[in-house]
Amino acid sequence: MSELPTGWTIVPLAEVAEVRLGRQRSPDQATGQHMRPYMRAANVTWSGISLDDVKEMNFTPKEFLTYELRAGDVLLSEASGSASEVGKPALWSNDVKGCCFQNTLIRVRSKGPLPEYLYWHFLADARLGRFAAVGKGVGINHLGADRMATWPTRLPPPGEQRRIVAKLEALTARSRRAKEALDAIPPLLERFRQSVLAAAFRGDLTADWRAKNPDIEPASELLKRIRVERRRRWEEAELAKMRAKGKAPGDDRWKGKYVEPVPVDPEGLPGLPEGWAWASVEEVCPPEAPAVYGIILPGDEFPGGVPYLRPIDINADGTIDFASVKHTSPEVARQYARASLRTGDVVLSIVGTIGKVVVVPPELDGGNITQSSIRIRPPSWLPPEYIRLALLSPLLTRQFDAVRFGNAVQRLNVEHVRNLALPVPPPAEVVKVERAAAAALANVAGIDVAALSGQVARLDASLLAKAFRGELVPQDPHDGPAEAAPPRFGTKHPVTTRPRDTHSRHDAGTRAPARRKGG
């Protein structure tokens, strides 16, 4: 046991409080003449009592006397599947009159210490893992009323209890405001990202560049060349197939089988800057590598096999969780060679969480995807990062929303993706748009809200630890020792106390607190 601060004592909780487990719920108590509201574990949260879902059951008048809740009672979660949730406390303020409690909770009713002090004591025990360390059970962790009755409770004099409570309330109010401010940041950052992407693909971020370069070739001229080149490559591929089968054509009628990509209908689409044009995903992809989905049945995990990417493996920030990537057999991968991956391909999720996008890294070169994703192979003139950012922009996500289907599971199909309309800048402007968007997004990329929230949580834990080591507030020699507080001890339990130093009235004004030593 660590050394106590001067004037503090450690006692079993039952010596200074009544500890009781709530009443068990059973079907025969679901109705009756004495229906009363009751609290259960679901009503006790880290931020206090939740009254969103208050249930009722029958409590006889005699039972009500035993299980009634009164203002100042502390309720603790008795059991949880998560050890860190065991002993989670809340202070009852009598917001529901005539309320009782169930056996998923332990009620602690003070016989002397400030109820608010006991609440903070138990909050420290829960947040610092002390309850989790003793919770026992298979699958469900239990604290138990008997264990709580013997729980070592550190008690300072009443005056110091009040100072500790006041200080913790003030400091945690600050940290609560900090948490609320941090909670507001992610939505703000997402709105900023969407604003940047919308501006990028409206041409706003490169407007000054266009003003300085008025004579650049428009995108329409590029798209004309792409259509000619697309047809030429298709004809070469078809001719090679026929010759491989020994069926050289005698005329050009076979060329009539070529299907020109359907041009984008700009109706309903926003206007684009001068020199920009709309093009479908199918139109910009190489004809020999159209947008395709992947493996339908990858089979069991095949160690050392071909990795395949699923939507669940793609993180929201466009990175890949390689630890979760699975592998299929080479035989299955060969069946879906049409969807094999190359470094720089773009993968878009189309089932469940629609719109996750990642650029394929070298580690997945030669890998594959599942039917829940679409592979888009960018042409040489359109950088993969441009396509990724465009797919994340409101300009494209609104198109997803217009064609997605399904009830329990939302999805797109491959034709939806092939027909998506991409804004295409003039060739000389493409990289400018990508770089301008990336630079603007980099301003917020380094903001790690989770890390900041972790720092606040660690600060809270540190404050709780200091409070119950006697280090948070000054000690006052006029307080007297803890055991002087009524209505305490006609005791059955051993008491551990460190006597308070005595000071003369002359010395008391200096208030030089005697501090404990060590941890």
Domains and CATH numbers, the chain: 9-157+483-508 (3.90.220.20), 217-425 (3.90.220.20)
Closest residue by Cα to residue 164 from 3, 1, 5? 5
**Rounded CA separation 433/386 (Å):** 8
What pLDDT is recorded for position 250?
Answer: 84
pLDDT tens digits for 95-131? 899 999 999 999 999 999 999 999 999 999 999 999 9
What pLDDT is recorded for position 483?
Answer: 57
Mean pLDDT on 66-82: 94
* Residues counted in the chain: 519
Cβ contacts of 494 within 8 Å, gap of 6 or more: none
Residue 185's H or E segment, with its range, is helix 158-200
N- to C-terminal Cα separation, the chain: 10
Q: 3-state SS of 231-274?
A: HHHHHHHHHHHHHHCCCCCCCCHHHHHCCCCCCCCCCCCCCCCC
Cβ-contact 15, 491 below 8 angstroms: yes
511 pLDDT above the threshold of 70: no
pLDDT tens digits for 393-446? 999 999 999 999 988 899 999 999 999 999 999 999 999 999 999 999 988 877
Half-sphere exposure of residue 319: CA atoms within 13 angstroms, side-chain side = 5
pTM of the entire structure?
Answer: 0.68
Mean pLDDT on 215-237: 91
Per-residue b/e over 232-256, b at no fewer than 16 CB within 10 Å?
eebbeeeeeeeeeeeeeeeeeeeee
Cβ-contact 110, 149 below 8 angstroms: no
Closest residue by Cα to residue 93 from 115, 76, 113? 115
When pLDDT is cut at 50, 70 and 90, the band that residue 1 belongs to is very low
Closest residue by Cα to residue 159 from 120, 115, 114, 108? 114
**CA-based radius of gyration for the chain:** 34
Residue in this structure with the two tokens 């394929």, named with its chain if needed: 360
What pLDDT is recorded for position 344?
Answer: 96
**Rounded CA separation 165/473 (Å):** 10
What pLDDT is recorded for position 484?
Answer: 45
pLDDT tens digits for 287-317? 888 999 999 999 999 999 999 999 999 998 8
Ranges assigned E (strand) in 300-406: 306-309, 326-328, 346-349, 357-359, 368-369, 373-376
pLDDT tens digits for 330-342? 999 999 999 999 9
